[in-house]
Amino acid sequence: MTYDKDIPGWLLAERPTGPDGCRLAGIKKKTGFLEKTINDIAEVLRESVFTEQLAGAGGMLQNIDPRVKLVTAAFLLLITAVVRHIPTLLGLYIFTLMLAYFSRVPLMFFVKRVWFFIPFFTGLVVLPSIFNFIRPGDPFINLINFGHPVNIGFLHFPAVIAITRQGLTGAGLIILRVGVSVSLAVLLTITSRWAELLKALRVFFIPRIFVMVLEMTYRYIFLLLTVITDMYTARKSRSFGAGTTKENRRFISAGIGNVFGKAYYLSEEIHDAMISRGYTGEAKVVSTFKIKAQDIVWIILIFVIGIFFLGGDLILGM
């Protein structure tokens, strides 16, 4: 096999055509939607690596057995769901902030992660209920005074449109309840390794095979994300300019097909690898979790705190 004869002349030419040296065109390429999306995916990837770092940070919650953590989190979620007063929920929220602090979770990161989406979703859902034309109540802030009731078709508005005290309390209660619940869930997930948390699900009698499927999903999502970012980087390194939206769309659809094919082939290989090591369709696991003294103390502590908040809430209601 000889190489020199096979190389076409243009490939041997001194220098490919293009601008000389560092000549700038002064025209910037635009960042397309594709690049933004792919970058966001990469960001998610990095963030999950970051959270694994927090899981190994050695704070208070990180030292609790994941099973105990899961059960106590469920208990606190139950308390959050049944209490009915804003001060109690505020107290619970301050408690989650303290937990975050003692678990070496950066507070700004924690607060941002919880409160970034709640105003959009929960806030939007409860917004109408604060107005007196949706839910009558004692006016708190008067917005518009028509002087007389207004009827537009089937809509009936009172003479004064106001935000009600009951509406505000109800909305606050729901938003806070969601906030505390999400905080607890976020704390649980960022202070635990995913693998351990999934294993801990077994305490709720979730079938082993289901846990195993979840574990493998988690493990291979990372691999497929890497495949996707690699595919995009490879394309970017060979493309000049951002490409038209149409080209990008075509790249995405081809990419989806490509990744699907790869995932399918990989799944067959994984199955072979499992069979080869004696897998017969029944998931067998060994648990290396051990309940320590600090876990017992933690259970008692959370139980006492839960009863404290519940009792306080009952007293507020009297």
For residues 197 and 64, the answer to whether their CB atoms sit within 8 Å is: no
* Window contacting another protein (CB under 8 A); options: 33-41, 57-65, 99-107, 278-286: 278-286
308 binds another protein (CB under 8 A): no
* Distance in angstroms (rounded) separating the CA atoms of residues 67 and 289: 8
Choose which of 213, 273, 296, 301 interacts with another protein (CB under 8 A): 273
Kindly tell me the sign of the dihedral angle through the C-alpha atoms of 266, 272, 273, 278: positive
259 binds another protein (CB under 8 A): no
Which is nearer to another protein, 220 or 308 (by Cβ)?
220
Residue 198 burial (10 A CB sphere; 0-12, 13-18, 19+): buried
For residues 55 and 191, the answer to whether their CB atoms sit within 8 Å is: yes
Which is nearer to another protein, 146 or 264 (by Cβ)?
264
12 binds another protein (CB under 8 A): no
Roughly what angle, to the nearest 10 degrees, separates helices 118-126 and 107-115?
40
Choose which of 29, 46, 112, 219 interacts with another protein (CB under 8 A): 219
Which is nearer to another protein, 204 or 279 (by Cβ)?
279
46-55, long-range: CB < 8 A, 24+ apart: 48/222, 51/189, 51/190, 52/193, 52/194, 54/103, 54/104, 54/105, 54/190, 54/191, 55/190, 55/191, 55/192, 55/193
40 binds another protein (CB under 8 A): no
* Distance in angstroms (rounded) separating the CA atoms of residues 34 and 236: 11
* Window contacting another protein (CB under 8 A); options: 58-66, 173-181, 213-221, 300-308: 213-221
270 binds another protein (CB under 8 A): yes
Amino acid at 31: T
Which is nearer to another protein, 61 or 92 (by Cβ)?
61
Which is nearer to another protein, 26 or 278 (by Cβ)?
278
* Window contacting another protein (CB under 8 A); options: 12-20, 81-89, 192-200, 297-305: 192-200
Residues that bind another protein (CB under 8 A): 1-2, 49, 52, 193-195, 198-199, 215-216, 218-220, 222-223, 226, 266, 269-270, 272-280, 284-286, 288
